[in-house]
Chains A and B, each alone.
Chain A
Amino acid sequence: MNSRNKSFRFSSLPSSTYIFVILLVLFSITVPNFFTPANFSTILEQAGVLVLISIGASFPIMTGGIDLAAGSVISLCGICMGVFLHNGIPDYIAVIGGVLVGTLFGFCNGYLVHKIKVPPFITTFGTMGIAESLANFFSDSRTIYWKENTNVHLIRALKTDLLEIWFGNGNSKLFSISGIVLFIFLVVAASIFIFNKTSWKENIYAIGHNIESARLCGIKVLKFSIGAYAISGCMSGIAAILILVRSNCATPIMGSGMEFQAIVAATIGGNVAEGGKGSIPGSIIGAFAIFIIRNAVNYLGLNSFVSMIITGITLLLGMVINELIAAQDLRKGGVRV
């Protein structure tokens, strides 16, 4: 729709862009060492987990549901991969196995929500407890380590720096792209491509607007609505890989609380809880907006609770700004998508 419309409209940007730009400018001015190449490479690398699960969270939200289990599924997938690696299974099999576990879990969520018609909030609330206790069971409530041997080629490859650009002298002037960043970029590109260039977008929007009329229009409702939850589970699995690569261990609480940050990121990105609209780039920028708050508060050396307060206020401000821009656009005769 946007390609046909030549004139630039503010509302055609993902709605989280404004709050992200405001935060970026604010932190660049006030926080020392924030606006440096080294910090940007850190942000790119560390925000990846949040970016991926925000993408995952936006799919169920767009169908009018919610996935509260995402955080616990990260823990479960991570523990599965950790157990595989601990037993000396080659890492590519371990990683694929973990992602499959996540996808299967997401599929079960979708099946319960759309086939057995349990409300999404209660389904994913229940499966959250199930995933949590499975993660505790498989790991015996302990942290899982593995030996550095020939089986972990892939993990080592993801850790290496692929590209280093020096913008001057000093450590802060180094911009580096590691394997993780490339991997995140590929996953993000693939998900945007699948969502925008195939029939997923239209079908998911239709389901989110009105599932009954979507079914009467001949959309395979079950395929797409269960698929949305499966994608969310799959993204949790991929996010678990990133945490494993960075921390070299798996803990049964590694993903707890993540689901809320992801839902928040998706919501400032324009994915509203009623479903039927939203975008993937919006969620990604929303995730970055939330992550740079934490990053900047760390640089200021403040208590992490300050970042909670700032995140909360940002969230409210972001929603108000979204509302104002939508109203402005409506007044100019634009169409509210």
Chain B
Amino acid sequence: MRNNEKGLSWKNKVKYTAYRSSTIVILLLVLAFFEIINMVRGNNYLTMNNISIIINQASFLTLVGLAQLLVVLTGGINLAIGSIMVLVCIMAGQTISEDGNVFFLIPVMIILVLSSAIGWLTGAVVTKRRIPSFIATFAIMYVFRGIGWITMGRSVIYRINPAIRFLAGGRLFSFAGFTITMPVVITLFILLVLGFVLKKSSFGRQLYFTGSNGVSSRFSGVPTDKIVMKAYILSGLLCGVSAVLYTGRLNAVEPSMYGNTHFDAVAVVLIGGASMAGGRGDVWSTAVGAIIITVIQSGMNSIQVPSEFQTFVLGVLIILSVILNQNLQKKKDILENDTKD
């Protein structure tokens, strides 16, 4: 992809970079929008403190977005994210609470192992039985949430282990009002690892290939079922990580939590420029997508949009940003093809 830049004039090079990083362009537009409205009202929106809050909140959303991205890259969708997150916490039970009095790594390991196992189960249903992932993960969502409700009833696990709470909200150091927190570090670490795996490892390349054209990749010797399976297991693992962080942040486990998380995750991934058809999208754009949604939400709070209208604005902005993203991508493709000729 880099090679295509060579034949471009200086002006086209700038254009090409802008098209390539279309999600960042959208982020800047959204930031400018809220900053201008706030400036007119005499407030300052882009303070260091506010930016660090936004990044901290977006790091949670990024994690579920990444869990969704792995499945979206295979051309599927994972609707079970929220219910997996709840179920693994419920199964870890009292060990995650303060009263359980166990070393925090034990519940964390339980959650991660269980969620990977659930991811494996989802992958098995999708690959072995050839059930479309929309239906398979939807059914799994129903079953898991039902199990969660039956085991927990109306009870709530609260007062989570302080070590887990530190993972979800611990402040490491602050610099000129900008605070770096534990979830930001964890998410950044996962972004780096996953970005490397997807871009450089053979698994990552095969995953993109499988997603963009399953049949042709199968015929060129890619073990597509295994690749899809691995993607679902990784997705489950990321659900486990987000379960630990979300639970630590909320300081409680309750069976009705995370009811819309799978939707948030899909929105993050699609704003990040991924395609539901599979094979398109990357981790950093997903992170930017999460930041965009967080900026929209916090921006609407800062200009005091009534809560009924927040879903309205969010819906409009999501559609608009996807339209813009598509146009920029299309222009990028045109520019690429021009240089080839």
Binding site for B on A (CB under 8 A): 112, 116-119, 121-123, 125-130, 132-134, 136-137, 141, 260, 263-264, 267, 272-273, 303, 305-309, 311-313, 315-316, 319-320, 323
Q: Check if B66 is an interface residue, CB within 8 A of chain A.
A: no
> What string of 1s and 0s marks CB contacts (under 8 Å) between B262-282 and chain A?
010011001000011000000
Q: Which of B140, B142, B308, B322 interacts with A119 by CB under 8 Å?
A: B322
Given A119-B322, A311-B142, decide whether A129 and B314 contact each other with a Cβ distance below 8 A: yes
Question: Is the contact region of chain A dominated by helix, strand, or loop, or is it mixed?
Answer: helix
The answer to whether A119 touches B276, judged by C-beta atoms less than 8 angstroms apart, is yes
The answer to whether A129 touches B142, judged by C-beta atoms less than 8 angstroms apart, is no
Q: Which of B53-111 contact A (CB under 8 A)?
A: 77
Given A118-B326, A119-B270, A136-B308, decide whether A308 and B315 contact each other with a Cβ distance below 8 A: no
Looking across the interface, which residue of chain B has its beta carbon closest to that of A267?
B135
The answer to whether B319 touches A316, judged by C-beta atoms less than 8 angstroms apart, is no
Contacts of B150 in A (CB 8 A): 303, 305-306, 309
Q: Which of B125, B130, B319 interacts with A112 by CB under 8 Å?
A: B319
Q: How far is A148 from B181 in the complex, measured between Cα atoms in Å?
A: 59
Looking across the interface, which residue of chain A has its beta carbon closest to that of B270?
A122
> What string of 1s and 0s marks CB contacts (under 8 Å) between B220-256 and chain A?
0000000000000000000000000000000000000
Given A309-B143, A309-B146, A315-B139, decide whether A129 and B323 contact each other with a Cβ distance below 8 A: no
Contacts of B140 in A (CB 8 A): 312
> What string of 1s and 0s marks CB contacts (under 8 Å) between B299-341 and chain A?
0000000001111101110110011001000000000000000
Q: How far is A273 from B131 in the complex, measured between Cα atoms in Å?
A: 11
Looking across the interface, which residue of chain A has its beta carbon closest to that of B255?
A305
Q: Which of A121, A125, A319 interacts with B129 by CB under 8 Å?
A: A319
The answer to whether A130 touches B131, judged by C-beta atoms less than 8 angstroms apart, is no
Q: How far is A128 from B147 in the complex, measured between Cα atoms in Å?
A: 28
| A64, chain B: closest CB distance, angstroms | 11
The answer to whether A305 touches B146, judged by C-beta atoms less than 8 angstroms apart, is yes
Q: Check if B145 is an interface residue, CB within 8 A of chain A.
A: yes
Q: How far is A125 from B125 in the complex, measured between Cα atoms in Å?
A: 26
Contacts of B142 in A (CB 8 A): 308-309, 311-312, 315
The answer to whether A272 touches B132, judged by C-beta atoms less than 8 angstroms apart, is yes
Q: Check if B191 is an interface residue, CB within 8 A of chain A.
A: no
The size of the chain B interface, using a CB distance under 8 A, is: 39
Given A125-B266, A133-B308, A308-B143, decide whether A323 and B129 contact each other with a Cβ distance below 8 A: yes
Contacts of B276 in A (CB 8 A): 119, 121-122
| B27, chain A: closest CB distance, angstroms | 17
The answer to whether B146 touches A133, judged by C-beta atoms less than 8 angstroms apart, is no
The answer to whether A141 touches B308, judged by C-beta atoms less than 8 angstroms apart, is yes
The answer to whether B316 touches A308, judged by C-beta atoms less than 8 angstroms apart, is no
The answer to whether B132 touches A308, judged by C-beta atoms less than 8 angstroms apart, is no
> What string of 1s and 0s marks CB contacts (under 8 Å) between B122-145 and chain A?
000100011110111011111101
| A217, chain B: closest CB distance, angstroms | 23
The answer to whether B145 touches A316, judged by C-beta atoms less than 8 angstroms apart, is no
Q: Which of A134, A312, A315 interacts with B146 by CB under 8 Å?
A: A312
Q: How far is A260 from B142 in the complex, measured between Cα atoms in Å?
A: 11
Q: Check if B178 is an interface residue, CB within 8 A of chain A.
A: no
Q: Check if B149 is an interface residue, CB within 8 A of chain A.
A: yes
Q: How far is A119 from B138 in the complex, measured between Cα atoms in Å?
A: 20
Q: How far is A207 from B267 in the complex, measured between Cα atoms in Å?
A: 26
Contacts of B322 in A (CB 8 A): 118-119, 122
The answer to whether A117 touches B326, judged by C-beta atoms less than 8 angstroms apart, is yes
Given A121-B266, A267-B132, decide whether A305 and B143 contact each other with a Cβ distance below 8 A: no
The answer to whether A122 touches B319, judged by C-beta atoms less than 8 angstroms apart, is yes
Contacts of B143 in A (CB 8 A): 308-309, 312-313
What are the 7 tightest A-B residue pairs by CB atom distance, in nearest-first order?
Answer: A129-B315, A312-B142, A308-B146, A309-B146, A312-B143, A133-B312, A129-B311
Q: Which of A137, A272, A303 interacts with B309 by CB under 8 Å?
A: A137
Q: How far is A272 from B132 in the complex, measured between Cα atoms in Å?
A: 8
The answer to whether B315 touches A312, judged by C-beta atoms less than 8 angstroms apart, is no
Give 12 new A-B contacts, CB below 8 A, not counting A119-B322, A121-B276, A125-B263.
A116-B323, A122-B267, A126-B319, A129-B312, A267-B135, A273-B134, A303-B149, A308-B142, A308-B146, A315-B139, A316-B135, A323-B129
| B139, chain A: closest CB distance, angstroms | 4
Looking across the interface, which residue of chain B has its beta carbon closest to that of A319?
B131
Q: How far is A315 from B318 in the complex, measured between Cα atoms in Å?
A: 31
| A75, chain B: closest CB distance, angstroms | 12
| A227, chain B: closest CB distance, angstroms | 21
Given A128-B315, A129-B314, A129-B315, decide whether A312 and B270 contact each other with a Cβ distance below 8 A: no
Looking across the interface, which residue of chain A has its beta carbon closest to that of B320?
A126
A-B contact pairs, 29 of them (CB 8 A): A118-B319, A118-B323, A119-B270, A119-B275, A122-B267, A122-B318, A125-B267, A125-B315, A125-B318, A127-B315, A129-B312, A129-B314, A133-B308, A133-B310, A133-B312, A136-B308, A273-B135, A305-B145, A308-B142, A308-B143, A309-B146, A309-B150, A311-B139, A312-B138, A312-B139, A312-B143, A315-B135, A316-B135, A320-B129
Contacts of B141 in A (CB 8 A): 312
Contacts of A303 in B (CB 8 A): 149-150
Contacts of B136 in A (CB 8 A): 316, 319
The answer to whether B270 touches A121, judged by C-beta atoms less than 8 angstroms apart, is yes
Q: How far is A117 from B326 in the complex, measured between Cα atoms in Å?
A: 9
